[in-house]
Structure 1
Amino acid sequence: MIPPIVYTCESLISLNLYDVYLPNPEFVSLPSLKVIVLDKVELESSLAIEMLISGCPVLESLTVKMINTSYGLESFQVCSQSLLRFTHESYMGLVDRSRFAFLAVFIDAPRLEYLRLRDKRTANYTIKNPGSLVEVDIEVVFNLWFKRKFDPNDLPKRHMIRNFLDGISCVKDMIISSSTLEIIYDYSRCEQLPLFRNISFLRVEFTNYRWEMLPIFLESCPNLKSLVLGFRLRPREDGASILPGPRRFLTSLEYVKIVKPMAAEASEIRLKLVSYFLGNSTILKNLTLFLGNFREKEESVIVKKLLTIPRLSTSCQVFII
């Protein structure tokens, strides 16, 4: 239990609660509190976290990890006029996922600059007043996991995804997982994606091999300058999707970096990925490829193949590390 005096401590600047029970407070007044971290916190109800936030007039950073309630949390709101950074993370098992199958998070923070969402169990994120948002880091699937797939006939889900994409469309820097990109790709097959006009930096973390998702999203980023691709798993030759030709050239992309080494046996897939960018980027300046652990002879073969790939941008340089 949290001592009641914590809720009225005038000098408190940072509050980090781990593995505790948070009841509904009668009154909250924390005039100096700027940072809150809630990790494995058991809530009496959503009112506990909402009152805590509302009682912090200068709150700048809020991190919520794996919160829980005894009855199952359906929703909670993050409403703050001062909040600059918000992180919501949760990595739960199958049982917990079923309990939180319809969790909804409402965010109303007009000064919010940084948003990190790493939660595959939350079904709905609503972002209000996103005009100040600059950077996002997202790995969400809107409760579409395992046997639950995107249904084009589910109009409420489509409407929710559209509103979410509109809410983050103003950002400049984005980190996105391939699982989220897959949902966006499925959504794009029935509705047009919004334009992400401000994005200049994009990093995609691939955990699967559906690379056909990437060109569709890149077409919605008309001013993208830097692209970083990372791979958490070793790709296999069998079953890996190859990038189709884009409907439009990549006219703003200047830098591409493939940061994590792939398995040696996936060299052909790697070359096709490189070929896509070299063949479709009109002003590309450099492409950096991390080869990883290759024997000298294997590396020589890859380099020779790279030299044969045509480049749309005559000034593009390829760096092999």
Structure 2
Amino acid sequence: MGKHSEAVNNSAHKTMEKQKKGIDIISQLPDELLIKILSLLPAADVTRSRILSNRWKHLWAFLPNLHIVIPHSKGRANKLNDSVDQILALRLTFQKFLLQCSHGNDANHVKNWLRIVTQCKVEEFEFRSAVLLKPEVEILFPCLKKMNLQCMEFVDENLLMDLISRCPVLEELCLDKLRLTCKSHMVKISSLSMRRLTIKESDFKNQELVIDIPKLEYLHLKSCYFRSYTLVNPASLVEAKISDSSNYLIQLLRFVSSTKIMTLTRKSLLALGGIQNINLPMFPNLVKLEIVGEWNPLLNLLNNMPNLECLSFPNGLLSYISEWNPPNEDQAPPCVRFKLKEIFIVPNLTLQERAVLSYLLKHANILEKLTVGEDYSFNHEQWFNMQCISKSCRIEFV
């Protein structure tokens, strides 16, 4: 034990001496360890490391996660194209591959890179591109589990479906700012392996969305404005996040009404608050609701959620309505009276927000926990003095 400690001390002493002399100790490490260190850094820092020395110049090409951004300048892009060709020729596997390019980039190069990457057993693929993908581009990702497609244009409605079908073990798909340049009436997403689907800010105003994913557990739809929605296998859906203000919002809520956990953003809540004679669907399986913003349509929502157990307000209870007009005592939503067990709310509430919370506490007969953030305008004693009908409720501060 003594000899081991002495050896460690001598090694540390030598390292300190080298540092005092300005010797580059890190560059003396083996390539495998340097690559491991680089893999822990952000992509921008990894790129900067190329200027440290000739030895560092090519290390980034062997990282498990490869992040390539092709510049808009044609001259710089052509130079980088050659480097990427050389890198991909050396690689056998990737864990994650990110490629970002634009209209000015050579489409043939991009297509060739995609074909090469498909042979590298990549598990996660992110493609940010304005390059048009045409039907003749055949891509197969036998090991891909996560795919993120951004800013892409499809010239054929079947191309997206074909691409997904070529990912037999895909578990997660994100479509962000996508466009169809053809006249199509339907966007169909079908997969036997997928569990998570996100579609954001994509131009599908005239299309019907059809989701046929038997194992789908998580669905996030933001500003997509589809003409209509069809969920073929809704029973597996566990969580839905909806951010939409279109005329089809009610139809969209019916589309996800079987979910167990739901998040509604301020955009959706404002839209619901502005609908007259609203006919909301029932949410028979919902146990947790997260409200991000507007509380005006809250009671209408709660009346259609008979089994709700957890209510969360991570951004407070903001509203354009200046006054809270609670319903009659005997009209409190059944889920509040008989099912609600937990409330989470952020700090620094306004008087109106406290009035809403006070109403919930007054009628939540079996509430078990109220979790609040640190509120500098409302001390702990005032929280404990709030009237709560449930005698078993405890207050936790985070």
Q: Could you say which TM-score interval applies, normalised by the shorter chain?
A: 0.7 to 0.9
1:79-130: CA deviations, max 9, x gaps? Answer: 1122111011128xxxxxxx75434422111111111112254443322211
Aligned residues: 282
Between the aligned partners of 2:193 and 2:383, the Cα distance in structure 1 is 54
Matching residue of 1:276: 359
**Distance in structure 2 (CA, Å) of the matches to 1:59 and 1:17:** 15
Which residue, 195, 201, 210 being the options, matches 2:288? 201
| Aligned-partner residue type, residue 102 of structure 1 | N
* TM-superposed deviation, 1:224: 1.6
SS at match of 1:3: helix
Match in the other structure for 1:106: 210
Mind listing any 5+ residue stretches in structure 1 that lack a counterpart?
92-98, 145-156
Moved more, 272-281 or 39-48: 39-48
Relative to structure 1, is the Cα distance of residues 243 and 255 closer, same or farther in structure 2, using a 3 angstrom cutoff?
farther
CA separation of 1:247 and 1:270: change in aligned 2, threshold 3 A: closer
Higher strand fraction (1 or 2): 1
Displacement, 1:315? 2.3
Look up the SS of the partner of 2:352 in the other structure: helix
Separation of aligned partners in 1, 2:143 and 2:376: 52
1:209-242 per-residue CA deviation (whole Å, 9 max, x = no partner) reads xx2311121122222221111227x947x74352
The answer as to 2:302 corresponding to 1:218 is: yes
Q: Name 2:266's counterpart in structure 1.
A: 178
CA RMSD in angstroms, aligned pairs only: 3.2
- Please tell me whether Structure 1 or Structure 2 has the larger radius of gyration of its CA atoms: 2
Mapped contact 2:205–2:224 kept (Cα < 8 A): no
Counterpart-to-counterpart distance in 1, 2:270 and 2:229 = 17
2:114 aligned counterpart, secondary structure = helix
Pair 226,290 (structure 1): closer, same or farther in 2 beyond 3 Å: same
The answer to whether the Cα contact below 8 Å between 1:104 and 1:124 also exists between their aligned partners in 2 is yes
Residues 312 and 343 of structure 2 are in contact (CA less than 8 Å); yes or no, is this contact kept in structure 1? yes
Q: CA deviation at 1:16?
A: 1.3
Answering whether residue 340 of structure 2 is matched by residue 253 of structure 1, we say yes
**1-structure distance, mates of 2:396, 2:267:** 29
Higher-RCO chain (CA-CA 8 Å, sequence separation at least 6): 1
Percent of pairs with identical residues: 24
Distance of aligned partners of 1:137 and 1:305 in 2 relative to their CA distance in 1, 3 Å threshold: closer
Residues 73/316 of structure 1: CA separation in 2 closer, same or farther (3 Å cut) = same
* Aligned twin of 1:88: 199
Matches within 5 A, 1:112-131: 112-119=216-223, 121-131=225-235
Secondary structure at the aligned position of 1:221 is classed as coil
Please say if residues 114 and 135 of structure 1, whose CA atoms lie closer than 8 Å, have aligned partners that are also in contact. yes
Gapped runs of 5+ residues in structure 2? 1-106
**Structure with greater proportional helix content:** 2
Distance 1:52 1:65 in 2: 16
CA contact (8 A) 1:102 1:123 kept: yes
Report the residue type matching 1:137 in the other structure.
Answer: K
Equivalent-residue separation in structure 2 for 1:110 and 1:187 (angstroms): 33
Asked whether the 8 Å contact 1:24–1:47 carries over to 2, the reply is: no
Please give the residue correspondences for 1:54-69 in structure 2 after superposition, counting only pairs within 5 Å: 54-69=165-180
Q: Cα distance 1:101–1:118, how it changes in 2: closer, same or farther (>3 A)?
A: same
1:23 partner letter: L
Per the normalisation by structure 2, the TM-score is 0.61
Q: TM-score, normalised by structure 1?
A: 0.75
